[in-house]
Structure 1
Amino acid sequence: MSVAEPRRIVLFRHAKADWPQVPDHERPLAERGRTDAAVAGRKLADTGIAFDLALCSTSTRTRETWKLAVHELAHRPKTVYEERVYEASPGELIAVLNELPDDVRSVILIGHNPGVHGLADILAGSADGDARERMNRRGFPAAGFAVLSFEGPWKGVEPGAAELTDYWAPSE
């Protein structure tokens, strides 16, 4: 693959979590979250993106979200459970993306707010149609995702380097 071919980054926020008396890292999905994760998986399938890699936070709610969403995809990508994605800032998430090998063309990152929303906003130097306005108006709710496109090597992922091409969130 040439590094000049467009790459895709999908930033996927975990679905709605429950609030039992457990440490934050161990919070499971709420019933609504389980439903929304599967719906988000179908919407991800509708994008037509064949993910080469999934980077998933190690938290219970992100792992459960991904397990439910990935069943809706035609192709199951290699999944890496990455501790650095849990509670990561946009800068920390960029550092993780910068480490990806150049043979990866498309990645989905399953993480948390405010990092996921912040990263989508920071990376998007431009946006198709009203995608940015919709994303920012909604505040990137649970089970929402943003699709970004950029050209160049993963080391070139930096603020403003991508185009926000799509945004989706479950209805409230």
Structure 2
Amino acid sequence: MSVDTPRRIVLLRHAKAEWSQDSDHERPLAERGRKDAPVAGRKLVDSGIVVDLALCSTSARTHETWKLAVHEMPKRPKTVYAERLYEASLGELIALINETPDEVRNLLIIGHNPGMHALADALSASAEGDTLARMTHGGFPTAAFAVIEFSGSWKGVEHGVGKLIEYWTPND
């Protein structure tokens, strides 16, 4: 695959989780999250994006979100569970993207805020229609996703490299 081939990064925030006094890492999805995650999966399928590789945080709520969302997809992409995604900073998220093999065209990351919102914001130099305004105004609620398109190698992903082409929330 040529590095000039348009690539997409899909950033999916985990669905709504239960609040717990126990470990944050082990929090399961709330009932609303179990309803929203498959809807997000169907919306991704409807967008026509075929995910080649999914990187998922190791938390219980991201695992459960991915399990429910991927069930809606016609073909399960290769999935890598990465401890580094849990509580990852913006710099750590970009470093993780930079390690993506160039044969991957569409990358999905299932993670947490504030990282997902910060990454979508940082990578998006421009946007289709009102997507950036909606994301800026609405934040990045649970089960929301953003799709950023760029050309070039994954190693070249940095601030301002992409265009926000889609932003969806369960309230849309």
Query: 2: distance between equivalents of 1:75 and 1:116?
Result: 24
Paired residues for 1:49-64 under 5 Å: 49-64=49-64
Query: 1: distance between equivalents of 2:99 and 2:19?
Result: 34
Q: Residues 48-75 of structure 1: CA distance to partner in whole angstroms, max 9, x if unpaired?
A: 1111100000000000000000011112
Query: 1: distance between equivalents of 2:75 and 2:127?
Result: 27
The residue identity in structure 1 corresponding to 2:56 is: C
The residue identity in structure 1 corresponding to 2:167 is: Y
Farther-moved stretch of structure 1 (19-28 vs 113-122): 19-28
Aligned equivalent of 2:41? 41
What secondary structure is seen at the aligned counterpart in 2 of 1:160? coil
CA displacement at 1:20 relative to structure 2: 2.4
Aligned equivalent of 2:29? 29
Aligned equivalent of 2:167? 167
CA displacement at 1:137 relative to structure 2: 1.1
Aligned equivalent of 1:82? 82
Aligned equivalent of 2:9? 9
Calculate the TM-score normalised by the size of structure 2: 0.98
Aligned equivalent of 1:95? 95
Query: 2: distance between equivalents of 1:14 and 1:116?
Result: 10
Give the alignment's Cα RMSD to 1 decimal.
0.9
Aligned equivalent of 1:140? 140
Calculate the TM-score normalised by the size of structure 1: 0.98
The count of residues paired between Structure 1 and Structure 2 equals 172
CA displacement at 1:21 relative to structure 2: 2.6
Query: 2: distance between equivalents of 1:84 and 1:11?
Result: 15
Q: Which runs of 5+ in 1 are unaligned?
A: none
The residue identity in structure 1 corresponding to 2:30 is: A
The residue identity in structure 2 corresponding to 1:18 is: E
Query: 2: distance between equivalents of 1:146 and 1:88?
Result: 17
What secondary structure is seen at the aligned counterpart in 2 of 1:40? helix
Aligned equivalent of 1:111? 111
The residue identity in structure 1 corresponding to 2:12 is: F
Q: State, as a whole percentage, how many aligned pairs show the same letter.
A: 67
Query: 2: distance between equivalents of 1:69 and 1:128?
Result: 25
Q: Which runs of 5+ in 2 are unaligned?
A: none
